Amino acid sequence: MCGIVAYLGSREAYPIIVKGLQRLEYRGYDSAGVALINPKGELNVYKRKGKVSELVAFAKDKDISGHVGIGHTRWATHGEPNDVNSHPHYSQTKDLVIIHNGIIENYNAIKEGLKKRGHTFLSQTDTEVLAHLIEDIQQNENMKLGHAVLAALNQVIGAYAIVVMDKKDPSTLVAAKKGSPLVIGIGAEDFFVASDASPIVEYTKNVVYLEEEQVAIIRLGHELRIRNLKDKEITPYVQKLNIEIESIEKGGYDHFMLKEIYEQPRSVLDSMRGRLHADTGDIKMGGIVDHEKKFEKAKRIIFLACGTSWHAGLVGEYLFEEFARVPVEVEYASEFRYRNPIIYPDDIVIAISQSGETADTLAAIELAKSKGATVLGVCNVVGSSIARATHGGSYTHAGPEIGVASTKAFTAQVTVLTLMALHMAKVRGTLSESRYRALLYEMESIPSKIEVVLKLNDDLRKIAFTYKDSNNALYLGRGVSFPVALEGALKLKEISYIHAEGYPAAEMKHGPIALIDDEMPVFVIATKGANYEKVVSNIQEVKARKGKIIAVVTSGDKDVRAMSDHVIEIPETDEFLVPLIAVIPWQLLSYHIAVMRGCNVDQPRNLAKSVTVE
């Protein structure tokens, strides 16, 4: 959600900024803009509703020279997506320009004060108010830009990642962060600023992640300086990026989503590597080792998450209850944070987030912490806000996920939650040794079983062709496969815009059955296990109403095949590990249907990869 790129150095800024904005397109946005100071000291700002490509077409014949500049992709919050509301925004004199991710909550009060002092505003945004406020302070207090930014941010309530540029001082950029990530790349003779490392990685591996309420003063020919909002100098902590450029490029695939679906044997393996030791019966998870006693005594687990991560939490509910015999609640972070939730000292709260930046999840964590809870994180992005806000936890090692619709992050989350649940079971002695060991060996075999399912891609493409023009779809599953039904439906609606619902199969007769006719595709997980016969009955209920059945079955199944329109055979596994394999066909089907419908698979309309506003 919203992307920031800025450059200061001796190279041409515009191509670096545009390429960086394109790398951030995956975050979701609806307009784009850039500001550059040319060698004559003139400030040029170009902004466009729509994609970065539309901004590039617009700026084609314009002056795009300059060695310093800032660029932004905006996901509208205050004010509709249009050229005027796009960033960068000017100050009153038009000497300053600002780009901003986040929300300034008290912008209205500040705006009214500034209006009384003669300021006029062009846009409806909260961001423009901040640009005016910084300049107002700069002029009235006769402050340098860095100090003016610091003083302005002390008046602001809300979240921000900002970069400010001043026409009068083209060798300086000022950046600041609170609640929204910002990373500064330090090159040999230049600086890069971005909302994540993807625009920076091809230029330098030396980066500084700004911490909460820090202001960076970036000056050409000088060391990076950082101050906190109390004006205390902080020594920058320079880290080495450990991502490679290949991991954020498509690598021959048509879309990031397809690449990421195909990466799952690897990402599941990477999420288990060094942790799962089937031969010795050990699960070693460094980030939870300090909380072992809590695991032993826990009376309840509470999962906090949003979107696909919430579905992973639902899978976790079945796993923790079955393996570790501990009650589990799975909470939408956005609901949890606005209740007055009851948290007991023996509860463990586990926040699940791919990006580690989801605003609601972050706020829910803070609430849980304020009530004395131990909060663990399951995050994919190393060093993200959620990873830092939690007391411990485990990273999913899925690698960067660029496609907005989450795929490999989901299976990596389920992998880590499975390991956690098994580890907790061992600590609490709730599983027999033989079942525990069998599950560990079975986990080891999951990556190769995912490989087998990926080989069904051509068959899935054919099924997708049959249902690509559907207006509705129903996904069913029971037990631990119910959350997979929810995830299947979410994938389809996110990228193909077909209305889809996921349901526990038995609940179908309490409503959705009314929708079933001979045009309705019903996607069912009917793998072998305790609920198999029950799901078979649910399939018959659909067939009796002429619905179309597309069933995921255990390899060799004949009964469901006989009553289905299409079957997808997946390798046999323990029934509690089925989600890791059964979700793959639903991902591929959604992908193909969306491609056939001409949808933008990697950047579906209105969606954002990282939802940094509540």
Catalytic residues: 2, 609
Q: Which of 198, 267, 361, 587 binds ligand G6P (CB under 6 A)?
A: 361
Q: Which of 35, 134, 577, 611 binds ligand G6P (CB under 6 A)?
A: 611
| Cβ distance to ligand G6P smaller for residue 267 or 361 | 361
CB-based closest residue to ligand G6P? 307
306 near ligand G6P (CB under 6 A): yes
* Total of chain residues touching ligand G6P, rule CB under 6 A: 15
Cα 540–Cα 545–Cα 547 angle in degrees, nearest 5: 80
Query: How far lies 481's CA from each of 260, 303, 458, 559, in Å?
Result: 22, 18, 24, 19
Residue 596 burial (10 A CB sphere; 0-12, 13-18, 19+): middle
SS3 216: strand
**Nearest approach, Cβ of residue 202 and ligand G6P (Å):** 24
**Structural Rg of the chain based on CA atoms:** 26
607 near ligand G6P (CB under 6 A): yes
| Cβ distance to ligand G6P smaller for residue 51 or 67 | 51
**Nearest approach, Cβ of residue 526 and ligand G6P (Å):** 26
**Nearest approach, Cβ of residue 312 and ligand G6P (Å):** 8
Q: Hey, what's the torsion of the CAs at 364, 376, 434, 271, to 10 degrees?
A: 100
Q: At what angle do helices 307-319 and 408-428 cross, to 10 degrees?
A: 30
| Cβ distance to ligand G6P smaller for residue 44 or 309 | 309
Of the candidate spans 84-92, 284-292, 302-310, 510-518, the one that interacts with ligand G6P by CB under 6 A turns out to be 302-310
| Cβ distance to ligand G6P smaller for residue 153 or 257 | 257
**Nearest approach, Cβ of residue 611 and ligand G6P (Å):** 5
609 near ligand G6P (CB under 6 A): yes
Show the 3-state SS of 118-155.
CCCCCCCCHHHHHHHHHHHHHHHCCCCHHHHHHHHHCC
| Cβ distance to ligand G6P smaller for residue 156 or 349 | 349
| Cβ distance to ligand G6P smaller for residue 26 or 191 | 26
**Within a 10 A sphere around the Cβ of 288, how many other Cβ atoms?**
22
| Cβ distance to ligand G6P smaller for residue 44 or 413 | 413
Nearest Cα neighbor of 426 from 271, 574, 284 is 284
Q: Prior bond to 88 cis, omega within 30?
A: yes
Dist. CA 290–CA 430, nearest whole Å: 21
Contact 391, 364 (CB under 8 A): no
Q: Which of 31, 92, 195, 358 binds ligand G6P (CB under 6 A)?
A: 358
- Tell me the residue length of the chain: 614
**Nearest approach, Cβ of residue 610 and ligand G6P (Å):** 6
Burial 180-202 (b: 16+ CB within 10 A, else e): bbbbbbbbeebbbbbbbbbbbbb
Contact 49, 83 (CB under 8 A): yes
Residues 209-268 that bind ligand G6P (CB under 6 A): none
**Nearest approach, Cβ of residue 246 and ligand G6P (Å):** 22
Dist. CA 502–CA 476, nearest whole Å: 6
Contact 586, 475 (CB under 8 A): yes
Q: Which of 264, 271, 309, 590 binds ligand G6P (CB under 6 A)?
A: 309
Residues 171-210 that bind ligand G6P (CB under 6 A): none
Q: Which of 170, 287, 307, 521 binds ligand G6P (CB under 6 A)?
A: 307
69 near ligand G6P (CB under 6 A): no
| Cβ distance to ligand G6P smaller for residue 98 or 359 | 359
Dist. CA 226–CA 211, nearest whole Å: 10
Of the candidate spans 143-151, 307-315, 506-514, 555-563, the one that interacts with ligand G6P by CB under 6 A turns out to be 307-315
Of the candidate spans 41-49, 69-77, 532-540, 603-611, the one that interacts with ligand G6P by CB under 6 A turns out to be 603-611
| Cβ distance to ligand G6P smaller for residue 360 or 575 | 360
Of the candidate spans 172-180, 190-198, 305-313, 525-533, the one that interacts with ligand G6P by CB under 6 A turns out to be 305-313
Q: Which of 172, 354, 374, 415 binds ligand G6P (CB under 6 A)?
A: 354
Dist. CA 38–CA 68, nearest whole Å: 8
**Nearest approach, Cβ of residue 358 and ligand G6P (Å):** 3
Q: Which of 214, 264, 353, 496 binds ligand G6P (CB under 6 A)?
A: 353
Taking the CA atoms of 485, 491, 496 and 501 in sequence, report the sign of the dihedral they define. positive
Of the candidate spans 33-41, 146-154, 339-347, 348-356, the one that interacts with ligand G6P by CB under 6 A turns out to be 348-356
**Nearest approach, Cβ of residue 354 and ligand G6P (Å):** 4
Contact 164, 131 (CB under 8 A): yes
Of the candidate spans 131-139, 161-169, 300-308, 364-372, the one that interacts with ligand G6P by CB under 6 A turns out to be 300-308
Of the candidate spans 169-177, 323-331, 352-360, 437-445, the one that interacts with ligand G6P by CB under 6 A turns out to be 352-360
Q: Which residue has the tokens 């992307």?
A: 3
Residue 328: partners with Cβ closer than 8 Å, 6 or more residues away = 300, 301, 302, 303, 316, 317, 320, 321
| Cβ distance to ligand G6P smaller for residue 75 or 295 | 75
Which 8-state DSSP code applies to residue 27? G
Residues 402-421 that bind ligand G6P (CB under 6 A): 404, 406
Name the H helices within 455-531. Answer: 457-467, 482-496
The phi-psi region of residue 205 (left if phi > 0; otherwise alpha if psi is between -120 and 50; otherwise beta) is alpha
| Cβ distance to ligand G6P smaller for residue 361 or 531 | 361
> For binding to ligand G6P (CB under 6 A), which residues are involved?
306-309, 353-355, 358, 361, 404, 406, 607, 609-611
